[in-house]
Amino acid sequence: MNITWDADKYTKDFSFVHQYGDGVAELLDCPPGSRVVDLGCGNGALTERLRERGFQVVGIDASGELLEKARKSWPEIRFIQGDAADFALEEPADAVFSNAVFHWIEKEKHPRMLRCVCRVLKPGGQFVFEFGGQGNNRLIHRELETAFQEHGYSYQMPFYFPGIGEYAPMVEAAGFQVRAAVLFDRFTELKGDQGLKDWIRMFIKTPFQTVPDPDEQEEIIDTAVDRLKKDLYRDGKWYADYVRLRMKARRI
């Protein structure tokens, strides 16, 4: 999915994305000095956390805007612009790590992406990742779909959110042994009075390309957000109904 990111706003208002990523990174159990790839590194915040643990890191991302931010923030880290399904390294890696990225990649592209990850790893290398799993943001997408329909448009949910039963076999077929897999709810606090509205504006971009009038786009968002208030607004704070799929695998 080709998206232009507002790298400053993403970094300022959506820092929870990389804060939660720390828990995923804890699954890596390689020694300091290991070569670790942060696949879909975005603004590089987690790549830096991995570097602080003593790993030799490289960050890979498709977004020029986010990489520019990453390079400015951490000039000593190597960041490469590349496609998750089609990248190569000069030397094989001990581990590949990825947080909150794979749901942006179309389902059809996942087998190629997983084979690509397998190719860059040493035999026995670790692959640790988390992304949106089955049912992720179900409430949000349901209300957006209804609001789109009421305005005469159809809503194409732009993400891939698989369950364990669907994804683990794909990981295995690419050449990995799956060592752990979990799907869990993570009701996630959003920042600010307009938390949910800002979240929709930041992350749900492509479905709105079919709605030419910006005022109508706003009306759709307002309608959905009003209806979501009963479920996603608690004690003065907005939340998103995240579900995560987390896995740890090893290259055979």
* Binding footprint of ligand BEZ, residue count (CB under 6 A): 8
Position closest to ligand BEZ via CB: 132
Closer to ligand BEZ by Cβ: residue 125 or 132 = 132
100 contacts ligand BEZ (rule: CB under 6 A): yes
Contact predicate 89/68, CB 8 Å: no
Pick from 203, 208, 238, 239 the residue near ligand BEZ by CB under 6 A: 203
Angle at CA 147, nearest 5°, toward 192 and 231? 45
Q: How far is the CB of 18 from ligand BEZ (least distance, A)?
A: 11
148 contacts ligand BEZ (rule: CB under 6 A): no
Closer to ligand BEZ by Cβ: residue 1 or 252 = 1
Closer to ligand BEZ by Cβ: residue 15 or 177 = 15
103 contacts ligand BEZ (rule: CB under 6 A): yes
Contact predicate 38/58, CB 8 Å: yes
Which residues sit at the interface with ligand BEZ, rule CB under 6 A?
A: 100, 103, 132, 136-137, 159, 203, 242
